[in-house]
Amino acid sequence: MKFKFLFLILCCSLNLMSEHRTVIHDGLERDYIIHVPSNINQDSPLVVVIHGYTSCAETIMTYSGMNDIANREGFIAVYPQGTVGSDGNTFFQVGYDFHSDSTVDDVSFIRYLVNSLTQEFNLKRQKAFATGMSNGGDMAYLLACTSSDLFEAVASVTGVIMKQTMDNCKMNNPVPIFDIHGTADDISFFDGDINNVSGWGAYYGLPETINFFVEKYQLDQKSEELILSEDDGAANNVFFERYWTEGVETEIWMYKIEGGGHIWPGAGLKLSWWSNPILRYYFGSGENEIIASEAVWKFFRKYL
């Protein structure tokens, strides 16, 4: 109870300037936040930013800093709010074992947001981008596999692809993918948990995930570059892996952070003095040499 009260304060007392909205979708009251910069036009893209398990739209909007990038670059940022599960925690339905009794269809909800907002703002671009942290990153993978008609590209930060998502992944066209993940992530294991030891449900590791999409998209080129080095004073060695085929637009990127944990890099919230692992789950201790939101937008911008 103490933790839930503290998290409620963190989640709901932030100084926010964006518009909070409520809609009825599939018989449920659903909330989301929309940030619309003054410099948008009909060619502006839509970027969906999805929070993690037990978190909320306000929190990821704040620590990601995506609104600042939206103001600079002229895109609409949308932050859907997950529903509350039987355990009292917010989530997006990606198939965790303990959500097997849930009938919430978050793919449908996010598709609704993309379609309705595209129409509301008369956007010529009929596709959007999606990114998220942890459970939100899992959701980004799910959207790539279920909604390639609506998403130009997706980016997952500390997220994974659930086994059932990969096993049932069907695309009308390939969706470019960017993954940012630490090798020491103690929540979403870099090497996966295909035997479901941790109880979330079976999911694949990042090497298997990247290889799955590389083979699916028939990408035949790879490069790997050390972009940050501990020898040069960085907190972690960071490797940039890029997969592509000459003459083909679709690419897969990965930032592999050696020794990195379960954080959104660059959030700037250095709260390692808290011992509560759930708080560290979202705010981490700060591999801040990488600005995840800037890297994600750089990737998305390739597909404008």
227: CATH: 3.40.50.1820
Question: What confidence category does residue 17 fall into, taking pLDDT thresholds of 50, 70 and 90?
Answer: low
Of 25-29, 197-201, 273-277, minimum mean pLDDT range: 273-277
Separation between Cα atoms, residue 290 and residue 216, nearest integer Å: 29
| Sign of the dihedral defined by the CA atoms of residues 244, 150, 140, 146, in that order | negative
Cβ proximity of 108 and 177 under 8 Å: no
The average pLDDT across 210-226 equals: 98
Side-chain-side CA neighbours of 159 within 13 Å: the count stands at 32
| pLDDT recorded at residue 18 | 85
Could you give the percent of the chain with pLDDT greater than 70?
88
16-20, 37-41, 111-115, 204-208: least confidently modelled range: 16-20
- Token pair for residue 61? 């909007």
How does residue 194 score in pLDDT terms, banded at 50, 70 and 90? very high
For 4, the token pair is: 């839930």
pLDDT at 277 over 90: no
Band the pLDDT of 273: cuts 50, 70, 90.
Answer: very low
pLDDT over 90 at 61, yes or no: yes
If you search the block for the tokens 């560290």, which residue do you land on? 280
How far apart CA 304 and CA 299 sit, in angstroms, is 10
What is the distance of C-alpha 146 from the center of its chain?
15
**Whole-number Cα distances in Å, 272 to 6, 221, 285, 302:** 16, 39, 5, 35
Look at residue 268 in the predicted model and tell me its pLDDT.
57
Q: What are 128's strand-pairing partners? A: 151
Average of per-residue pLDDT values in the chain: 89
Average pLDDT over residues 241-260: 97
Six-digit token string for 270:
């250095």
- Is the per-residue pLDDT at 239 higher than 80? yes
Per-residue pLDDT for 14 more than 60? Answer: no
Domain containing 211: what range? 2-301
Statement: residue 264 has pLDDT above 50: yes
Rounded to an integer, what distance in angstroms lies between the CA atom of residue 141 and that of residue 107?
A: 11
- Residue 286: pLDDT band (50, 70, 90) is very low
Give the number of other Cβ atoms within 10 Å of residue 249's Cβ. Answer: 10
What is the tens place of the pLDDT at every residue in 130-147?
A: 999 999 999 999 999 999
* Least trusted range by pLDDT, from 65-69, 101-105, 271-275: 271-275
Q: What is the pLDDT, as a whole number, of residue 248?
A: 96
Flag whether pLDDT at 279 surpasses 50.
no
Count helices and strands in the chain by DSSP H and E runs: 9, 14
Which stretches does DSSP call E strand in 207-302?
A: 221-228, 238-244, 252-257
Which of the four pLDDT bands, split at 50, 70 and 90, describes residue 270? Answer: very low
**Is the pLDDT confidence value at 2 over 90?**
no
Q: What is the largest CA-CA distance in the chain?
A: 55
Return d(Cα 299, Cα 118) in angstroms, integer: 21
Dist CA 122 CA 126 (whole Å):
10
Is residue 186 within 8 A of residue 198, CB to CB? The reply is no
Average pLDDT over residues 3-31: 67
Domain count, the chain: 1
Reported for 99-105, long-range contacts at CB under 8 A and 24+ positions apart, including other chains, are: 104/26, 104/28, 105/26
